[in-house]
Chains A and B, each alone.
Chain A
Amino acid sequence: MSTATDHSATAEHSSEHTEEHHGASDKQYIVIALILAALTAIEVSTYYVDFGPLFMPTLFVLMTVKFVVVVSYFMHLKFDNKLFSYLFYSGLILALTVYIGALSTFKFFLQKG
């Protein structure tokens, strides 16, 4: 039964990863949370300090980084089976595509320049 071997191989593979993030993780979580807090502080500082032309890019980069960090580490997506990533990110990318497409037909991005 070749598939049975496949299955156990997959299971072994994923549980290896599970092992990896089970152990010394609590401290790492706190470090990650501190990084997230620092990023949020930079975000909020855009309200007080003028970032000039870097204003929008900074915010978008920070937002994306925070999003990906929470998804990858707190939600374990980085360590989990790839199938979970495919399912979640296909929803996310689809959402981005169709809604950006829809907003484009309203000339939304042209107005903003």
Chain B
Amino acid sequence: MAIIERPSSEVAIAGGSTIGVKPSEALGVFKRPVASTSWRDWIVTVDHKKLGIMYGVAAFFFFIVGGLEAVLIRMQLIAPNGKVLNADQYNQMFTMHATTMVFLFVMPMAAAFANYFVPLQIGARDVAFPRINAFGFWCFLFGGIFLNTAWFLGGAADGGWFMYAPNSSTLFSPSHGIDFWSMGLQITGIASLTGAINLIVTSLNMRAPGMKMMRMPIFTWMVLVVQFLLLFAIPVITVALFLLTFQRSFDATFFDVASGADPLLWQHLFWIFGHPEVYILILPSFGIVSEILPVFSKKPLFGYPIVALSGAAIGFVGWGVWAHHMFASGLGPVSVTVFSMATMAIAVPTGVKIVNWVMTMWGGKLQFTVPMLFAIALVVQFTIGGLSGVTHAVAPSDTQQTDTYYIVAHFHYVLFGGAIFGLFAGFYYWWPKMFRKQLSESLGRWNFWLMVVGMNMTFGPMHMLGLQGQPRRMSVWTEARAGEGFFNLGFWNRISSIGSLVLSLGVLLFIINVAYTHKSKKVAIAPLDPWDGRTLEWMTDSPPKEHNFDTIPTVNNLDEFFHRKYAQDGTTHEITQVATAEEVLAEMNSHPDEHIHMPSRSYWPILLALALPIIGYGLIYNRIILAVGVAMVVATMFGWAMEPSTAADDDFDPPAPGDGGGHTKELAPLG
């Protein structure tokens, strides 16, 4: 077995007619980086697993930032006439809390899991475009940092996460916060778009032999649906953000009512993106849960094709419901009716999924491990959030609820109780795969229960507050107007604020759990297959080697790994174990593939990504910086284009004649 991971510097001009570049001379500036174990390897890596971990770490950092912002908001509202924040700071706080949680935590955390596990689940050695993958990560990281530097440069964005026009114009928001916001999101949007193309091509094109579409694990399926949503939704927000930037930086008139503009244009563009975005946030967690429930119920997923296709149906119908965010804006009765009905329709495939999960657990031998607890909590909490969502679909009721805390309660139930619980289930489930050690179950239980109690304490009372009429985004409340008795706003605000502290404690316990697991000598190395898994990612080492599989498995079944471990007796129909995970792996590794050719490391992704925030600062502050940024983009793109994605090597199999992309790791010079 020859694993080629780096260019051998002694190779002169190698390759045949198609590969004619000696990599280290590609542009004559940088030598192509080679493998190392130092921190530098993380900068230049194109390994999907390392990028997945970096996505995860960075996203978790932003989760803490966004969480602290949320706690500050709740502390402001814990008592009447709150003094923690002034009104201006409060506006920035809720805007950045939402922006951070949506764009810098849930999306990239889903990308972390997708990056790490999609190639493993479909039996691939890497993603289709490894350098673009690295570029996507750096765009997300630099975009997120850029967005947050606004705090130190005159104040962050303060228009709410949907940044409605004309409130977002320089007249009402004179600081640079919204400029940072729009350009920061533009940069993270590039990350999402490139990631989407990459992961779609990966799951369409890089599947192991026999891994048909309808044998792909549900997590991969849901990620695929999400990437299609991103592929088509990101350009819409790109247009909206460009219009906003042009208005704020170059005095364009797009949302200037005095010039005859219609501010609803922004709302349409934002929500055409924004509603698919909602499914972008939740579907990866649905996928994670659909992996976990069967494993800990000891049963196959109930109605696998229906779960896969209902996910696709959610993604599809999700394009036709955006205006339900705008029922109160005077769309007219026809539009409201159409969008109201479409919104009710989308509850159907979602309900189908919930039925499938419940049926998966029905009659199973349930094991209440921490990942299973989080998964069950998702089913319960998401259902509650889904039900309050149906009340929004009813336009008259929605008119009453618009911009009240009832909305806040709803989307926190689906996003915290749904998306975030799913991600936590993923942490506990896949931790032993990624880091060889299993997170402590007992600490995990504390983590779980504190988060469930905290989340219901924080967001449950908000239903009450909203129905009592407390407006969303109100920076203070006064005792005089808080009302009496059971419906006293002060009482429920206090409960909610205390709940947010419980919730924070739960998250803190997760961090403690991670530290404990990795510092303590008492925690042993996890077994190869700690949960008795069903899918391909468990059929390799923990953590997987850089090339993932010594032998690319040939897939004959849905839940291939399960079928290699267990067999059904022909007469008694009893399912018995025929092999352990170790035996399956040893069997596979007994005849390793030859000529494993991994993509080579590269400096260009990080350099190109670094140029983008420079352009952002240039647009805001100084045209010279702008020119530097643009020059850097052009230079790095040329460097990138000239560098073959896989280093030339004598051991390289020439592409099949007449076949366009004979080698799957090739990249046209397009960036």
Contact = CB atoms under 8 A, between A and B. Distances in A.
Nearest to B228: A90
A97 B319 contact: yes
A3 B210 contact: yes
B209 A105 contact: no
Contacts of B209: 1, 3-4
B255 to A, nearest CB: 14
Contact of B272 (A1, A2, A102): A102
Given A94-B319, A98-B319, A106-B264, A3 B335 contact: no
Contact of A105 (B210, B269, B335): B335
Nearest to B205: A83
Contacts of A83: 204
A107 B210 CA distance: 51
A106 B262 contact: yes
B111 to A, nearest CB: 21
B323 interface: yes
Contacts of A106: 262, 264
Contact of B659 (A11, A91, A102, A104): A11
Chain A residues touching B, majority SS:
helix
A15 interface: yes
Interface residues of A, number: 19
B91 to A, nearest CB: 28
A18 B661 CA distance: 14
B658 A15 contact: yes
Interface residues of B, number: 22
Given A3-B209, A3-B210, A11-B659, A98 B331 contact: no
B335 A104 contact: yes
Interface string B203-221: 0100001101000000000
Contacts, number: 38
B232 interface: yes
A76 B414 CA distance: 44
Contacts of A3: 209-210, 212
A21 B434 CA distance: 48
Nearest to B555: A3
Contacts of A95: 232
Interface in A94-113: 94-95, 97-98, 101-102, 104-107
Contacts of B319: 94, 97-98
The residue among A1, A102, A104, A107 with the most chain B CB atoms within 10 A of its own CB is A102
A15 B660 CA distance: 10
Contacts of B204: 83
A3 B209 CA distance: 7
B338 to A, nearest CB: 8
Interface in B322-350: 322-323, 331-332, 335
Contact of A1 (B331, B332, B554): B554
Contacts of A18: 658
Contact of A94 (B232, B322, B332, B658): B232
B63 to A, nearest CB: 31
A47 B209 CA distance: 58
Given A15-B658, A105-B323, A106-B262, A98 B272 contact: yes
Interface string B501-534: 0000000000000000000000000000000000
Nearest to A2: B210
B232 A105 contact: no
Contacts of B335: 104-105
Interface string B56-75: 00000000000000000000
B659 to A, nearest CB: 7
Interface in B237-295: 262, 264, 268-269, 272
Interface of A: 1-4, 11, 15, 18, 83, 91, 94-95, 97-98, 101-102, 104-107
Interface of B: 204, 209-210, 212, 231-232, 236, 262, 264, 268-269, 272, 319-320, 322-323, 331-332, 335, 554, 658-659
Given A3-B212, A102-B269, 7 more contacts: A1-B554, A3-B210, A83-B204, A94-B232, A102-B272, A104-B335, A106-B264
